[in-house]
Structure 1
Amino acid sequence: MLKSLNRMGLTRAAVLGAVFGATNIGMIAGANAGGLVKIDGSSTVFPITEAVAEDFQNAKKGAVRVTVGISGTGGGFKKFCRGETDIVNASRPILQKEMEECKKSGIQYVEMPVAFDALTVVINPKNDWANTLTVAELKKIWEPEAQGKITKWNQANPAWPDEKLKLYGAGADSGTFDYFTEAIVGKTKSSRGDFTASEDDNVLVQGVASDKNALGFFGFAYYVENQKKLKAVAIDSGKGPVLPSEKTVEDGSYQPLSRPIFIYVNIKSAEKPEVRELVEFYMKNAPTLVKEVKFFPLPPQAYSTNLEHLNKKKVGTVFGGRTETGVRVEELLEREASL
């Protein structure tokens, strides 16, 4: 469905915005099929999994239906750990409390990194003063103590104008929110609360695009889809300003906002042929589809390792139940290989 709409000139992000109202976004193809795979979770990972689901359903010629919901990483894990879904999209690793919930329900899972994302800070194109932001400036703006105190741009930096600061960011159930607060403020979920929050990245895009004094953050793909009406901010973590790009993600210089993103597969669900076939299709086609939707694919051995873990039923996580920043591609591969 989405590809057919894209042929009409609509971006994936625009199409996603048009259909976001549904709890589960299912493909039309195979609506009456016998096999069903249920996926939910991160809106950041959604474009990748949606592309995989659409191509997989086309390949199966209606024999399998795949539904892909968007309730955020946290909301997705709640459903996954209750056994309501087969796969969860996650823009951060599973947390300790989620691991405990899954354990209570007897849910075991295979952790599969599928891509890298550059969490992108964006401003309105008319903003000509904040092309670069330091991590310290971002912290000053977003930390809990800033609420009611940092309400204008010049309160964060005297060189900036005396204009009202309008903030847009991911909702509290989002893995993007968890990662951003950990990377910038230093503690997961530690943030001021007086900002426009949404699990729908398109709401954030429109908010920043329509206000000269807005500042927001979300995944790189949504920035790329909307770069004509947004401007990415270069982030200075102490070694000079760096813009998000394929090169800066791969060489590890875009820090601390470069991050791996995942799917988690219920190992019992993987006993169903339709789930296993979907996962195998996902890993085989991820390099191409990840690029198509403007994320950064992992080296081929990462996808081979994921399937090896599935076949050998290597369950669990290499992240110890916490959000972790600054993980580079090479380190991720080493960790997953040693599981």
Structure 2
Amino acid sequence: MTRKGDFLSRREFVVGAGAAGAASLAGCTRQNTDGSGGSGDSDGSSGGSSGSDSSGQLSGSIDIAGSSTVFPLATAFSEIFKEDHPGVEFSLQSTGSGGGFQNFFCVGETDFNNASRPISPEEEDLCAENGVEPVELQVATDALTVVVNNDNDWAESLTVDQLRQIWSAESPPTTWSDINSDWPDEELELFGPTDASGTYDYFIEAVLGEEGPGHRQDYSPTEQDRTIIRGVEGSEYAMGYLGFAYYSQNSDAVTAVAIDNGDGPVEPSLETAKSGEYAPLSRPLFTYPAKSSLTEEQVAEFARFWMENTTNEEVVANDVGYVPLDSDQQQAQLDTLETAIEEAQSN
């Protein structure tokens, strides 16, 4: 039986893993019943209760903030994990990667921060100031997707240079014909993430260049990815960009643009992201548990559960819309996590 998630604040998406996926997930869930998990320290954990209840089942809270792109994946796995561990309560917020690091994780308010780009040196410094040690774990690969209205029949593909021209703060075009004289002399209407988003940061790095003039600001910024979809769907001359999972669940509402990085147009897909053909917009996705939170049994077990299922195609690819890790990548993440758990719990 396929489970479907409730309507979430970021978008509608299928959460259930299906019969085979749910069975395989259940088999990967491990739980300790010796009650050895300690509570979080004051140096950066969220301070939630932890361990096992009187029946030996996992209990306590897990607080997660950060990337809107990773949010559907975290939600899917948290809901499946909770089926086997109903005593564990999750609080998930979609704040953007930077917003999560700055306002929640690095000040010790959450156990995990999801991110669609690596943590920055400035964020690492903020974490260090508050005694929070982040553990970087890759959870999937995304194909950042540029979308246009379904009636747009002139920009089925764009070169990276054209994409840079459209979104650059330096002499930004105001009409489609400013980009190509054969295109409509109609005003561009642009939608995208805010500057608190890792998607915004990655777009600057991959397309605009970190040393360039920056991202144009005369667009409609939002942390609500469904707003990007609805904005582009509602205007023939609109464009936006967002994570592939959000596009894949709304592919009837908007059209994905193929990107030409010099070797011809390539459409975003799980296959082209995995192969590296979809360049330069394929990117790794991360979650960062706080090492101090890994002293809490329910946090450590959920982190293990997530990493053990980073290769699960049923959930990661079919239900959410990202590229799963391969077995070598998965093992590397598990090794990193187990080292962090051992270090945290031995102190």
Match of 1:170 in 2: 193
Which of 168, 184, 189 is 1:161 aligned to?
A: 184
1:109 equivalent in alignment to 2:134: yes
Does structure 1 conserve the Cα–Cα contact (< 8 Å) formed by 2:140 and 2:284? yes
- Residue 208 of structure 1 corresponds to which residue in structure 2? 232
Report the Cα offset of residue 3 of structure 1: 4.6
Q: 1:187 aligns with which of 206, 210, 221?
A: 210
Partners of 2:258 and 2:338 lie apart in 1 by: 42
Residue aligned with 1:172, SS: coil
Contact 1:208 1:230 (8 Å CA) reproduced:
yes
CA distance in 2, matches of 1:294, 1:154: 34
Q: Which amino acid aligns with 1:271?
A: T
CA contact (8 A) 1:36 1:64 kept: yes
| Aligned residue in 1 for 2:99 | 75
Superposition map of 1:49-88 within 5 A: 49-60=74-85, 62-78=86-102, 79-88=104-113
1:290 pairs with one of 300, 305, 316: 316
Q: Distance in 2 between matches of 1:306 and 1:102?
A: 21
Cα distance in 2 for partners of 1:88, 1:287 equals 20
Asked if 1 retains the 8 angstrom alpha-carbon contact of 2:66 and 2:95, the reply is yes
Note the C-alpha offset of 1:82: 0.4
Give the distance between the partners of 1:170 and 1:137, measured in 2 at CA.
Answer: 19
Counterpart residue type for residue 177 of structure 2: N
SS of residue in 2 equivalent to 1:270: helix
* Conserved 8 A contact 2:10-2:94: no
> How far apart, in 2, do the equivalents of 1:58 and 1:109 lie?
27
**Kept after mapping to 1: 8 A contact 2:152/2:236:** yes
Determine if contact 1:82/1:105 at 8 Å carries over to the other structure. Answer: yes
Shift of residue 13, structure 1, vs aligned partner: 6.2
Residue 331 (structure 2) pairs with residue 304 (structure 1): yes
Secondary structure of the 2:117 match is coil
**Letter paired with 1:276:** A
Match of 1:146, SS?
coil
Q: Secondary structure at the match of 1:268?
A: helix
- Per-residue deviation, 1:5: 4.9
Write the distance in 1 (CA, Å) between the matches of 2:3 and 2:10. 12
Deviation by residue 1:192-229 (Cα, 9 ceiling, x = unmatched): 10001111100000000111000110000111111111
CA distance in 1 between partners of 2:167 and 2:341 (Å): 38
Residues 201-240 of structure 1 correspond to what in structure 2 (within 5 A)? 201-240=225-264
Structure 1 pair 161–251 and aligned structure 2 pair: CA distance change class (3 A): same
Q: Deviations over 1:8-42 (max 9, x none)?
A: xx7996437xxxxxxxxxxxxxxxx9500000000
Deviates more, 1:115-124 or 1:178-187: 178-187
- Aligned partner of 2:323: which letter? F
**Structure 1: runs of 5+ lacking an equivalent:** 17-32, 316-339
Give the alignment of 1:271-282 within 5 angstroms: 271-282=295-306
Tell me if structure 1 keeps the 8 A contact 2:11–2:225. Answer: no
What are structure 2's unaligned runs of at least 5 residues? Answer: 14-57, 343-347
**Aligned partner letter, 1:195:** Y
TM-score w.r.t. length of structure 1: 0.82
Q: Distance in 2 between matches of 1:11 and 1:88?
A: 18
**Alignment-derived partner of residue 89 in structure 1:** 114
Instruction: Tell which structure's C-alpha radius of gyration is larger.
Output: 2
Residue in structure 1 matching 2:291, options 267, 291, 302: 267
In structure 1, the partner of 2:145 is: 120
1: distance between equivalents of 2:229 and 2:283? Answer: 20
8 Å CA contact 2:12–2:249 kept in 1: the answer is no
Q: May I ask how many residue pairs the two structures share in their alignment? A: 292
Tell me the alpha carbon deviations over residues 133-181 of structure 1, each in whole angstroms, 9 at most, x when there is no partner.
011111111111134xx11000111121101110011111000000011
Whichever residue aligns with residue 53 of structure 1, its letter is S
Q: Which amino acid is 2:295 matched to?
A: E
Identity %: 41
Residue 29 of structure 1 corresponds to which residue in structure 2?
Answer: none
The question of whether the paired residues in 2 share the 8 Å contact of 1:110 and 1:314 is answered with no
